[in-house]
Each structure stands twice: as structure tokens, then as C-alpha cells.
Chains A and B, each alone.
Chain A
């Protein structure tokens, strides 16, 4: 995710929310739960105390009856439960049945004494119980609740301290256990939420990425409009963009048509001027011819440029080389009928040019025209995909088209730099002399290559390397 991106904004806001809300929620849950646990702990102690008293009282008995099995019964009553201990201790030292009153206590106390809150100066509450957290017989902190209760009849009747205690550590353990589980669950939820947010952002913004790819395709000329079924939120944007592209294209188209029309419209008057001037030997006529020739060159140059500019935006087209070469050869065979040239074509079906038909016609037409002009008897066209070693990068495959003739060819110096605009390699044959430079310019437009070399047959070998349509 990049800084300053929609994805980052969405993710950060969602993440911040998760990071703030989860700890707060955790804290609220924890404190409430803790309060409930403490309450349950206290209640359990309190209700055990009441139970101990209820069971210990027996009508007519000289003292309290030991509530022997209480602990076990009690343990099963609640999900939250703790090991509790009880103790009933006589306070007044009177004799019962002639013996000193016994102190009764749970077996788990193993004869040890529970601390008594009233001995620690704790005041009783409304229900006459006292409670406090005091050090227990094993040195651990225990919560004790005590009620002074009168047991027995006759002389042995006296006050007893009935005490019930639970270990505070045990209760804290329960709470800590919960805290651990809560933290783990919330952390898991946090991670899950962040992952979900990430996915949501990615998934939600996916159409934007698709739109970006579509736009790139338009810019590189592989598409003319924004295609695809985009979500309703960005569909208006898509429609507006397409309308903009269309009107832009129309403007360009119109401008290009005007340039073309202007250039073509100028050619006839130029022809008239040149022809008229040629009939006169005057210096003025010479000047007119000279200037009209310059104008012709300029008109052709800008006509080419206008055509060249039109390349941008139509690179998505695919042209089969075979049919183009065939129609050109058909035309040239008629144009050079006297020479009775034999044309050989080798353009397999896979030889397809990634570009506009007119451009291929222009390049191949000029090359074939040149070859036909100079050939003695043979012209050949061979088109084939360039074998790739898979390492040429960018994934672009290339198509090589070779046009060869058995004419005189070019000298080494001419081969060194034959392609300069407006210069004719040989002025003796008619033609504008622009042929090769148009080919070279067009090939350049397609990131291709144009080279001249000596053919095996002795003549000129013109090689075009152009993008291959796959």
C-alpha cells in the first residue's frame, strides 16, 4: 500500500477504530466480570455461612451439630465455586455436658484455626455478620465471614463464632484465568478484523485497479475506450471518460482530415503552377517551379506527419501480411507490366503485423515499388516471426519482412546512410525519393527497425522489423 492512497486511508481508519475499541471493550468486560466474580465469591461465603448455621441448629441439642458433609454438597451448586472452610467456635467457655465446649471445623482445616474478624475489631454489618480479608492458617489471605450465634440450651447455652472462609488467591486465579482468555479472544478478534479490513479494502478498490489498467491500455493505444462492467459508483466516471475520449478522438480525426484535405487540395494547384511555369523560360517561371517543388515537399512531409500522428491510438489493430503483400504485388505487376517481373511471396498465416493495414501497405508498397523499379527479373517478399530466445524483455515478439530484388543494389557508402528525407538515392528513376524515409519513419513509429543490406541475389535487401501480433 502506498502512502497517500485510498487503500491506506481506509485501512488506517479501520485499524485505528479496531485498536481503540477493542481495548476499551476488553476493559469494560473485564471490570464487570471481575465485579460479578467478587460478588459471587462473597455471596457463596455468605450463603454457606447461613447454611452452616441452619444445619448446626438442632432443637434441644446442647450445642451446635457438626455439618459434616457440607462442603461437598455445596460445591456442585454453582459454576463458579471455591473450596470453602467453616468453623464453629464457642466463645464463652461454658461447659456442655460437663465438658468444655468443642470447636467444630472442616476437616480441610486439619485442626488449624481460622482468623476471627471480631477479634480484629471488625464491626458487624446489618445482618450481624462481620467480614474481612485476613491472613489464614497457612499464611494465605482468606476472606472470612463470621456470625456470632447462640447455640444450646440450659447451662451449656452460649455464643459461638460461626466462620466461613474462602481463599482470596483462588478467587483471583479465577479472575486472572478469565482475563487471560479475554485478552486472547480480543487479540484474535483484532487480528481477524484487520485482515478482514485489508481484504475489504483490496476487494472494494479492485475495480479502480482494473480501471487503471484500462486507462493504461488506452494510453498505449491498445484500446480506444474504457471497457468493463465497473461498479455503479464509478460508472458515471467511466461514461464521462469515454465521452471525453470519443470527443477528443473526433477532434483529432477532424483535424487530421482537414490537414489531409488541405494537403490534397494543394496538390492540384501546385501541379497547375508547375506545368504552367514549365512552358516559360523566364526567371520568374524558374522561381515558381523551384518554390512549387519546395511546397510539394513540404505538403508531403506534413501529410506524412499527420498520418504518423494518427498512429497513436490505433496500435491495437492486427494486419495479416499475406493479403497486403498480395494486393500490392497485384498492383505492381500491372504498373511494371513490361518488365515481366516474377514475384515470389512467402508470408505464412502466422505473420501478422501489430498495427494498421494502411501503414503496412505504405511501408511494403514503397519497398516493393523500389524493388520492382530496380529488379532485373525477380522480387521476393519473405515475412516470418523473429525467433525469440525469451530474453528480449517486455514480452514483445517481432516480425521480420524482407523485400529483395536482383537489381544493381547499393554501394557500401550508400548503404551506410541512405535514409535521409527528401534525398533520392538515384535521380534517374522517377519517384519522390521519399519512399525509404517514409518506411523508416513509419517503422520507427511502431518501435520497429528498417535496414538496407545487400541481398544474396546481389540486389538490395530491405528489412523491416515490426511488432508481431500474437
Chain B
């Protein structure tokens, strides 16, 4: 699950990166409108947190340009401007949610989770697939009610598969959504993590679809 943070305040940006990384997301940070716009245009993010008062290019314009070039990722606007006229302008530009500063980090994280679920079509905060259950609020996965211990990379991979369960997910997609921009993108590492996950959950839940990628489905479901 990749998140882009576009925020020009260095301290706030750092806090956001650290909070979101702790929550198990792969996080990229941009400090001005142009950089943010470029990243959003070129990288596949699952959620973007966008400040409006940005140097070089205004946040609302960044958002409008993304939407014009058909970038559909959920965008949460994070801004000090909290008038309804600002909110309406933001939502009309294509935002999915609006958080006013100062904010509570927990609330922002909840909003990020909500956008993730929304994008993958899950209405509730926990996602189930057979015996597996992901609680997006606590970032914990349980198997038959028992918590599974996962490293952060394992969690990201499994969470992404759970968000998109019953669907074939390509290796490229996984790489793009699980790692920060500057990460060395060797898709072999995905195979290593898939192997490790198969040891922690019923192994046949993750199927390798040759030439296409992987699919997480309920155990015993042949397809």
C-alpha cells in the first residue's frame, strides 16, 4: 500500500511519513507542488495526502491536473483552510476527503484506511478472506482468530492481497504498490515474501498464476 505525502512543512511531512510508515504503508514524500504532481502522475499510489498551500504549484491545481490526466487514486486534502467554500472547491477539484489542520494523527490514519478500503471496494474496516482477517485499524492479521506475526514488508504484501482478494495481482503491481519510490525494485524479492507468507497462512491460499501474478483466495477454492 503506497501513500504519497505532499506537504511543504518539513516537520509535518516527517511526522506524516513516520506515522504512516509505522502504520505499515510504503510512503513517498514530496515538498512542493511540482514534485508532488510529478510523483502522482508517474507512480501508482493507493492514497495521496495533499496540502493545498504548496510552493511552485497550488495543491488544488495539482489535483485538477491529476484528475484531468485520469489519475484516479484517492486524495485526502490536508489544509489549514477549513472554510466550506475551500472544502467545496477541494472536493470539486476531485478530492475524496478533507482534513483540516491541526488534526489528530489517529483521525488522519483512519481516513487513509477508509480511502484504501473504499478504493478496493470494502465497506468495513476489517477485510476477511476465508480464515484470514485483516483489521485495518490496528494493522493486524489474524488466522482463525489467532494473530499472525508479520514483518512490515510481509504485512504490506498480505494487506495488499487481502484488499484485492479474489483478483489476480501482477508482480509489477505488487512492486509498485509495496515499495517507496527509491526502493530497488527487484521483483524477486516479492517471490521471497510470498514464500514466507505461505509458511504463515494456509499455503494454497496464495496461488501463483503463471505469467500473470498471484491471487489470494479462500482455501480450497480452485480456479
Which A positions have Cβ atoms within 8 angstroms of B?
Answer: 263-265, 267-276, 278, 292, 296, 307, 327-328, 330-331, 334-335, 337-338, 357-358, 361-362, 364-366, 430, 432
- Using Cβ atoms and an 8 Å threshold, which residues of chain A touch B97? 334-335
Is A328 touching B88 in the complex (CB atoms < 8 A)? Answer: yes
Is A362 touching B102 in the complex (CB atoms < 8 A)? Answer: no
Which of B53, B91, B123 has a CB less than 8 Å from the CB of A331?
B91
Which of A330, A361, A365 has a CB less than 8 Å from the CB of B92?
A330
Is A275 touching B85 in the complex (CB atoms < 8 A)? Answer: no
Is B102 touching A274 in the complex (CB atoms < 8 A)? Answer: yes
Is A275 touching B19 in the complex (CB atoms < 8 A)? Answer: yes
Is B85 touching A330 in the complex (CB atoms < 8 A)? Answer: no
Contact of B186 with A by CB under 8 A: no
Given A267-B101, A272-B12, A361-B83, are A338 and B91 also a contact pair (CB < 8 Å)? no
Which of A263, A272, A307 has a CB less than 8 Å from the CB of B15?
A272
- Using Cβ atoms and an 8 Å threshold, which residues of chain B touch A364? 84
Which of B80, B85, B105 has a CB less than 8 Å from the CB of A361?
B85
Contact of B98 with A by CB under 8 A: yes
- Using Cβ atoms and an 8 Å threshold, which residues of chain A touch B12? 268, 271-272, 275
Contact of B104 with A by CB under 8 A: yes
User: Which residue on chain A has the smallest CB distance to residue B101?
Assistant: A267
How many residue pairs bridge A and B at CB < 8 Å?
84
- Min distance, Cβ A333 to any Cβ of chain B, angstroms: 9
Which of B53, B88, B95, B100 has a CB less than 8 Å from the CB of A365?
B88
User: Which residue on chain B has the smallest CB distance to residue A268?
Assistant: B9
Is A268 touching B80 in the complex (CB atoms < 8 A)? Answer: yes
Interface of A is mostly: helix
A292-B102, A331-B90 provided; 15 other pairs, C-beta below 8 A? A267-B102, A268-B80, A270-B102, A272-B9, A273-B102, A274-B102, A274-B104, A275-B19, A275-B105, A276-B11, A335-B98, A337-B96, A358-B83, A358-B85, A366-B84
Contact of B114 with A by CB under 8 A: yes
Which of A271, A330, A334, A337 has a CB less than 8 Å from the CB of B102?
A271
B55-87 vs A, CB cutoff 8 Å, 1 = contact: the mask equals: 000000000000000000000000011011101
User: Which residue on chain A has the smallest CB distance to residue B84?
Assistant: A365
- Using Cβ atoms and an 8 Å threshold, which residues of chain B touch A276? 11, 15
Q: Rank and list the top 3 A-B pairs by shortest CB-CB distance, nearest first.
A: A365-B84, A331-B91, A271-B102
Given A272-B15, A292-B102, are A330 and B84 also a contact pair (CB < 8 Å)? no
Once the chains are docked, how many angstroms separate the CA of A331 from the CA of B97?
9
